[in-house]
Structure 1
């Protein structure tokens, strides 16, 4: 091959390469220009996806198509702002909040909601569920929804607490009495007790009663009564008494253990008793002498003074007088001092209250004369006397009178 031919071939080859390079460069240039023009016509949009912001350039003409470009599928309960039909403008801010399904359990009632709220509290507010400070909410109100798919609520109910007699109404979600006391920081001391069982189920309007028990000791000094000793005295007329020795009260110290419930004493036990001063007994002589009056002596004793006028001395009393006979129904005819009125129907004898007129006393009775206080009667109490008459007619005739009485001896 000649040199000329060789040169011609080399020239043709170089020319072909130059053309190819030119074409490629031109194509690349056009492509770059087209891309630049394409990108330049895109609009800038801020997209907020569940709180995370993205800066996007797009040719999408609506919010809906923008989200489709980002492979975001919009569910029924999702919230898109502005709406999917809104035209895209440069600088537009678009937010997409994806709804989450949350189960809300309120006591025994359950409901399912779709929500885009961020916290438990906002979800409950959106669902129209009111919460008080005493209600139990799990998770807490400030907890972010995130992975939370259920909310459990225990509504507080009223419980009456009677602590040591002091009542107050509280709200609680406790299931047992023991849990309620623990939550309310109610502590029981060693002697304190509950009315009922600590494991008893707590219900609305339950009453929890705590009985506060305490033991205390009390030392008191008290007077000790003296004993009364009676001795028969044959020198005293029957029915009369004479104090031989006056009684004196003693003094004793007593130590008690007292149990109180809610501040009130419920029991008292004697622990120690100590005599500080011994009591002195009272000695009383009781008359045993029976006055037996014969007809002659009694008449002589009474009639010898009955004709006289009222004595000048003696204790004077005004008393209500009635009359009786030895022949009355139920009467034995023997007086309390042993006088036989059947054998001595004309004796002047009166029945008296020995605490007013001592038995055996000589007396003068207005309208009756001198007599002996020799009898008693169940109805003769206080300033009353009953006059012995020899016959029923005399007793009826006397009736009832207010009379002057003088105690002579």
Structure 2
């Protein structure tokens, strides 16, 4: 019985000692305070606080906070050594997106986070001014640009090239097509870039040749000497013209002897063999010519462009003959006309 009472007494003494130790420990801890990190609007300080809770700390330090102030951790959190506390008030920003301009409040200072608070989905190509990773101050205007890329396929032609071969056996001014040119084709894969819904630029991603172009081959005459009854004569250019013939008859000119201008050319000269009518846009009046037959008949020979005619337009020429029979016999045929120096 005595042993039992002794053991009970010992337990009471131990419990009392433990209670005293805990009380002393809590008192020492309270006296020493808690080392914490406090960040208010981005400004951070290390401090020792003897407050019991976060709310008590803010009040003790006279840090203002309202219902919209974000305090982390919560106000009723007990202070413990190493605790990190942040206090942030919402800030006002202006966001410009397409045609919309609106203000929003955010606890964030990084542009990308602010835009996300505005429920704007930011794609991998999107950008902003200031840049997405920028830290900004309150009342900053942020302009957001949404980038969209669309792919399309476009078929286009590849123009053929022209190859010119000089031929000394061909008269200057005469050309022949030895091979017709043909355009090729290609298929282009194009990326169109739209910024805020409007086309900004296009980039060719891939070009594929569907068919190669075929070059046009032309031979060009470079000979500038024609043989005539007077010997070799140099010329500037040779033309193939469609020739007809006329005389002074009413059927050819619409005039009779005695009518004003009868027998007079557009240049004011008297019509005679060697006078020819031309289109001045092709051969200027007063130009000296040599008219060569292409069918083996006798050449018309040397001539001067002195006249015009209502039906002589473009690459045509009208040769004067003294008689209606000679003009009618000539008919209509192609001739080679040399423009002389």
TM-score, scaled relative to structure 1: 0.36
TM-score, scaled relative to structure 2: 0.43
**The structure with more strand, counted as a fraction of residues:** 2
Bigger Rg, which one: 1
